[in-house]
Amino acid sequence: MKIKLLLLSLIAKKILNGILGMIMQALHVNSIVSVASVNWKSSIKTGSKADAWVSYNSTTKNLSVFLTYAENPEFGDWVEIHNILSWTFESSLDVSDKKKTGLVVGLAVGIGVLTTFGIGVLCFVLCWRKNRTCRDKDNEAIDVSMDDEFEKGTGPKRFTYRELIRATNNFAEGGKLEEGGFGGVYKGLLNEGTNTEVAVKRVSRGSKQGKKEYVSEVKIISRLRHRNLVQLIGWCHERGELLLVYEFMLNGSLDSHLFGGQVMLVWNLRYKIALSLASALLYLHEEWEQCVVHRDIKSSNVMLDSNFNAKLGDFGLARLVDHELGSQTTVLAGTMGYLAPECVKTGKASRESDVYSFGVVALEITCGRRPVETRQEPSKVRLAEWVWNLYGEGQLLDAVDKMLCTDFDERQTECLTIVGLWCCHPDYTLRPSIRQVINVLNFEAPLPTLPSKLPVPMY
């Protein structure tokens, strides 16, 4: 039962002949009708003091206490004198302390949560602003590094992000030409009155070296001019994107024809491609104002235009060195299978290591095989080792791509294969320069005599 009203009344009671004899104490609960009563043992006439009390037990913990008296007593001629000598109210429950404790705990928890949330929001905002500032500074640094090229008008054009979004149809998957560790390459159409077809490289945001390679490529390739180098048309770095725009190469990459099921390359085209690649390297190593070490020569970076002219691309790992300097110590970079042994061992890249990579590509062109094929029998897993063994056995032509059947020039085939082995010599001091390679391929110099067995690398 929920108690809303608890009343204790003191009533003077008639005993005999209308004489007031005693006082009755009554208890009322939610009603004027008493639920219990008791007579005081002392008579009202004696004037002695009497005590009254009420014990209250409830889980509501809510009791309001007040005192009042009736103005019109029922005893007509008699007069009552109400005199409360003292009264007290006591409780055995420490209600106020618990409420205070609960309130304090609640406030403490609430303030703690709000404080933590506030700190979290503040940290997020500060980190966001810091990252944005860093991105802005990086972009500014890129801009500064390119100022000279653009002011002189010798650098590629700067495109807006909106232009390249429109050109590639928002980087549609259907227009993707290639996907690699660096990101994707998409076909695009520049609507500048000429409807120029381009290839747009979108550097992956997850690429650890993406920004460094992006800057390197623009700074280096934008200054190079050669018929056997892929032309960089423009660039863009907006909204956290790093984009490079190249001339579109209709026939894709060399590896797609050697291994990917594209149009099979006849021998004349293969030999022409090898000479074109050598010509590009000669320009990089000896003919430009500085020596350019490409560091990533491989068949997938050799692009073919509409006439199957070869052009070397992807200068993201390229480095500039003085012509007088030798090997340059750097972080190991490149593609396994094309890396010279000394690069793997020491981390040094040089013109000689580029020549080694060229030799691997030359063997790919002749043999129609990748540098490493793990499914082959042990003696044939590594291309250079397998071909060198055939050379020592006097059966070099057995290495020729079976897709060519007998439709190839034996003299050119022997020449290109031996030059490929020469370039892949484990000792970099015994490799030819790229100029020597061109002289031999043009039959302006004799073929070298190589050891019958693949030499052991010496460092």
The pLDDT tens digits for 184-242 are 899 999 876 677 899 999 988 766 667 777 887 788 888 889 999 999 999 999 988 89
The pLDDT tens digits for 432-456 are 999 999 999 999 999 999 999 999 8
Mean pLDDT to the nearest integer, 255-263: 88
Which segment of 98-112, 204-218, 255-269, 344-358 scores lowest on mean pLDDT?
98-112
Give φ, ψ of 327 to 5 degrees.
Answer: -60, 145
Q: Specify the pTM.
A: 0.67
Q: Hey, what amino acid is at 297?
A: I
Which segment of 17-31, 343-357, 399-413, 434-448 scores lowest on mean pLDDT?
17-31
From the list 51, 143, 148, 296, the catalytic residue is 296
CATH annotation of 252-459: 1.10.510.10
Which segment of 138-152, 291-305, 400-414 scores lowest on mean pLDDT?
138-152
User: Of 297, 291, 437, 304, which Cα lies nearest the Cα of 357?
Assistant: 297
**Cα atoms found within 13 Å of the Cα of residue 2, Cβ hemisphere only:** 3
Q: Is the pLDDT of residue 360 over 90?
A: yes
Which sequence spans correspond to the domains of the chain?
Answer: 1-93, 252-459
Mean pLDDT to the nearest integer, 306-322: 88
Q: Is the pLDDT of residue 17 over 60?
A: no
Mean pLDDT of the chain: 80
- Asked if 296 is an active-site residue, the reply is yes
Q: What is the pLDDT of residue 456?
A: 84
The pLDDT tens digits for 67-92 are 554 544 544 444 555 566 666 666 66
Q: What is the pLDDT of residue 437?
A: 98
Q: Can you tell me the distance from the alpha carbon of 178 to that of 311, in angstroms, rounded to the nearest whole number?
A: 17
The pLDDT tens digits for 51-71 are 666 666 665 555 655 555 454
Q: Which of 176-180, 267-271, 374-378 has the highest mean pLDDT?
A: 267-271
Give how far Cα 369 sits from Cα of 149, 173, 353, Å. Answer: 41, 29, 21
